[in-house]
Structure 1
Amino acid sequence: MKKLTTTLVALLVVLMLAGCSMQPPAWARTNQASDSGKIKIGLSISTLNNPFFVSLKDGVTAEAQKLGIEVIVVDAQNDSAKQSNDVDDLLQQGVNALLVNPTDSAAISSAVQAANVLDIPVIALDRSADQGDVKALVASDNAKGGQMAAEYLVQQLGKGAKVIELQGVPGASATRERGRGFHEIADVQLDVIASQAADFDRTKGLTVMENLLQGNPGVQAVFAHNDEMALGAIEAIQSSGKDIPVVGFDGNDDALTSIRNGKLTATVAQQPDLIGQLAVNAARDVLQGKEVEASIPAPLKLVTTEDSQP
């Protein structure tokens, strides 16, 4: 292979340091600022084909610019193998800190551990890593958001309502947490008649919803783990001629417009730009030797049709 994987690079550095007194290569000595004194941060985003993560990236870059921090942004395009290679590239470019929004919380673990070996602090955004030392997770309370969605559906439709759940990317911590929070309420007060992954993607949300509608004609509501899938589900529902309320998660611009237009029923709104800002500040604090909280929350709000009225 032309390029060593992140894990092999990290292991080689460990062996070098353990077996002799040699110093690691210059690119590995990244826990200090560059010779110019400027901090360089690497940001690995799961996908920029999603308005939520574009806003998250914009929050990072805007806050970094304000603080005089350089940011290198890479897009994993929802490919966990590409994300590992992207992180490898960031480490070799000499970043002082790594911001990661994982495509898959398990798959990113080796890359996080590689950064740990090189003493590069890792901050996770929106989704965490299953293994490795992450200094802070900056995210909404995804489990609480799932509960909010279920409670809203109970309030609107009553107990026992038949609900379909569209899940996010299998393996992503946000998928697990939103689903867990939702089911804590739904398994007791609703009837979840179908639950299927649509990978946080609008087109897949449309296709999966079309199939689920055919097999579940009695469905009364839909909860989607993000707005992109919710918007896809609405297209499928409209094409079927049905009128079924849909609750999303994120609060992106398209979703809020859809709510104002009377299509999407509600969304659990996050603040992705704030998540980005908080992550940059957490990375700066860690690099300055300050303690940071392991979990840094960004507030959630349920936005409904009633909220959108003038």
Structure 2
Amino acid sequence: MKKLTTLLATALVGTTLTAGAYAQDTLALVISTLNNPFFVTMKEGAEQKAAELGYNLIVLDSQNDPAKELANVEDLNVRGAKVLLINPTDSDAVANAIRLANRAGLPVLTLDRAAGRGEVVSHIASDNVAGGKMAGDFIAEQLGHDANVIQLEGIAGTSAARERGQGFAQAVAEHGFSLMASQPADFDRTKGLNVMENLLTGNPGVQAVFAQNDEMALGAQRALQAANKKEVLIVGFDGTEDGIKAVQGGRLAATIAQQPDAIGAIAVEIADKVLKGETVADHIPVPLQVISQ
């Protein structure tokens, strides 16, 4: 027992494992990465609501690795989890983990990123398509039609990247933007910096950048500042603490603010309903808003 407890503790993130974690009131949150402030906030929202409702919450970090994600889900049977809350590393690759949970009879809720396959009881997320469109509309309000824009995309294969890109594409068509380039930077700040530096070489006339999350937006901002292009409008997405501070400080023009804490909290509330046998919607939308100066 001592060996098992030690093993569990090494994989546990942000929570203390007790004997109660083997009881029926245990939920599991498998999260894509805790190296991103957005998902840290989501975890904290889930933890707060779980404590409020009297659940033990096991939090496991997949480190943006689908193989690690699958291993995390494989490990849940010995942890006594009754509902799986999962924020996928990849909307397609996560199908293996979800099917594993399905075979084990574990209800599955997806957070922020949808799953391409597998049986999911409910998906809790912002309307990413609407958010991408909101970003484009904001750029049009500031610069008018026919603006020269660049898009920094998130991780290929995630529903968030596809849907935010879809919404922004609608705005590009509606407002007659010239989309000079659209390239992945994997939702990462350093990659956002490097990709933006490379894109500036061939696109010096860019007027606005839409980054599909705040981390990439902040990386792009550093690249633009270094290139002495401070006049370029930058719009991020997520409404993270760093993103909002950058808007307030004038480094970003706006961020499309999600509520990651609300996504986490609502997911726990839905898990509670599932365990009580109540009917839940297959999609729970969480409101978005534009934050600008």
1:269 to 239, 248, 257: 257
1:39 to 25, 46, 51: 25
Greater Rg, structure 1 or structure 2? 1
Task: Answer with 172-181 or 187-196: which moved more.
Answer: 187-196
Deviations 1:196-223 (A, max 9, x none): 0000000000000000011111111000
Deviations 1:53-109 (A, max 9, x none): 000000011100111101111111111121111111123423100000001000000
* Structure 2: 5+ residue stretches without partners: 1-19
Residue of structure 2 in register with 1:221 after alignment: 208
What aligned pairs does 1:1-310 form with structure 2 within 5 A after superposition?
38-189=24-175, 190-243=177-230, 244-305=232-293
Note the C-alpha offset of 1:184.
Answer: 1.1
Q: Distance in 1 between matches of 2:292 and 2:212?
A: 16
Deviations 1:261-296 (A, max 9, x none): 111110000110010010001111111111101111
Asked if 1 retains the 8 angstrom alpha-carbon contact of 2:240 and 2:257, the reply is: yes
Asked if 2 retains the 8 angstrom alpha-carbon contact of 1:138 and 1:295, the reply is: yes
Residue type of the partner of 2:192?
G
Residue 43 and residue 292 in structure 1: after superposition, are their counterparts in 2 closer, same or farther (change >3 A)? Answer: same
Deviations 1:105-143 (A, max 9, x none): 000001101111111100100001100111111111000
Note the C-alpha offset of 1:188.
Answer: 3.5
Q: Distance in 1 between matches of 2:78 and 2:199?
A: 46
Asked if 2 retains the 8 angstrom alpha-carbon contact of 1:91 and 1:115, the reply is: no
Q: Distance in 2 between matches of 1:298 and 1:272?
A: 9
Asked if 1 retains the 8 angstrom alpha-carbon contact of 2:133 and 2:170, the reply is: yes
Q: Distance in 1 between matches of 2:166 and 2:121?
A: 24
Residue type of the partner of 2:164?
R
Secondary structure in 2 matching 1:96: strand
Asked if 2 retains the 8 angstrom alpha-carbon contact of 1:163 and 1:222, the reply is: yes
Deviations 1:132-163 (A, max 9, x none): 11111111100000000011111111111010
Q: Distance in 2 between matches of 1:76 and 1:41?
A: 16
RMSD after superposition: 1.3
Residue type of the partner of 1:42?
A
Task: Answer with 95-104 or 110-119: which moved more.
Answer: 110-119
Residue 94 and residue 38 in structure 1: after superposition, are their counterparts in 2 closer, same or farther (change >3 A)? Answer: closer
Q: Distance in 2 between matches of 1:153 and 1:269?
A: 15
Q: Provide the aligned length of Structure 1 versus Structure 2.
A: 272
Identical-pair percentage: 51
Q: Distance in 2 between matches of 1:261 and 1:39?
A: 44
Secondary structure in 2 matching 1:264: coil
Residue type of the partner of 1:213?
L
Asked if 2 retains the 8 angstrom alpha-carbon contact of 1:41 and 1:96, the reply is: yes
Secondary structure in 1 matching 2:197: helix
Note the C-alpha offset of 1:37.
Answer: 5.5
Asked if 2 retains the 8 angstrom alpha-carbon contact of 1:38 and 1:70, the reply is: no
Residue type of the partner of 1:269?
A
TM-score (norm 1): 0.86
Q: Distance in 2 between matches of 1:263 and 1:73?
A: 33
Q: Distance in 1 between matches of 2:90 and 2:39?
A: 15
* Structure 1: 5+ residue stretches without partners: 1-33, 306-310
Secondary structure in 1 matching 2:48: helix
